[in-house]
Amino acid sequence: MTGVFEMSMFKIGSGPNNVKDIRLIPTSTVEVHSSLQVSAVPHTTDSNDPLADAFWFNAKEVRKMLENCTAQFPGFAEYHDDVMDKIRDFYNEYYIGRFSGKYNPWSVCSFLQKLCDNLPLCPQLDQATVTGVIKSSTQQFWVKTGSTKLIMDQCKRYRDKATGLLNKLVVEYEERNYQTTEVQLAPRPTLPKSISLGDANLATSYFEGSQFSHTAFLSICLQAGYLTRRTASTVCIPNEELVLVWRNMLKDLVIGLS
């Protein structure tokens, strides 16, 4: 097993034997529209997509974890919806196969551990205190497991083209999440806006070439976990945890940090 993403065999591994390709990635926008299921429905037995919902957490699993790990704090249950809203904003919106709304397991588990570490320090549980605890427990857990240096080095190498691409990623994310009316926040669309990935294979030769490759750059960012797939050929920024990374990289490019 090499993972859930298609990988070219160029320089990064030998040719495998006896491979059975169990596809978790929809092949077209039409397929997504026709079969997308929100992952609040746990673990489908659909023979066309037998493993997709076994990866990452769905909403019911996250809520159950929250209930279990905070059961020792009387009165906290009334704030579960507030916690779920924060988790959804920061660690949700990954697309795995037909399923939207998947949660990053590492970030969710790390957040809940931090939350349970902070709750005993609260003198009382009221709205203001709980809001502060939730805020202090929300961190970029996934980002801290690695480094953006490799990505940022390529951005600086091709500053002009990379700046345009990063700006498009961030703008499309913000349009998806922050469009407002005079009354309330606009609802999120069923399918997020995204930009074309092109060839889905990871082009490792990108780092040796002299030209900026839109496809290879996005593929590398996808493989590193900084983007999520929408279909086999499109990607987007999934959530607040990741958009903070992209904003910081874009800021560094625009102001010309070395």
Neighbouring residues of 34: CB distance < 8 A, sequence distance ≥ 6 = none
Residue 178's pLDDT is what? Answer: 65
pLDDT greater than 50 at residue 244: yes
Residue 185's pLDDT is what? Answer: 37
Query: What pTM did the predictor assign?
Result: 0.74
Residue 16's pLDDT is what? Answer: 55
Residue closest to 203 by CA, chosen among 8, 25, 15, 12: 8
Residue closest to 155 by CA, chosen among 237, 227, 258, 229: 258
pLDDT greater than 70 at residue 199: no
With bands split at pLDDT 50, 70 and 90, how would you rate the model's confidence at 49? low
Cα(203)–Cα(222) distance, integer angstroms? 12
pLDDT tens, 132-183?
A: 999 999 999 988 888 888 888 888 888 888 899 999 999 989 887 765 433 3
Residue 250's pLDDT is what? Answer: 93
Cα(109)–Cα(119) distance, integer angstroms? 15
Residue closest to 219 by CA, chosen among 203, 231, 237: 203
Cα(150)–Cα(188) distance, integer angstroms? 32
Residue 87's pLDDT is what? Answer: 96
pLDDT tens, 11-40?
A: 444 455 555 555 555 554 444 443 334 333
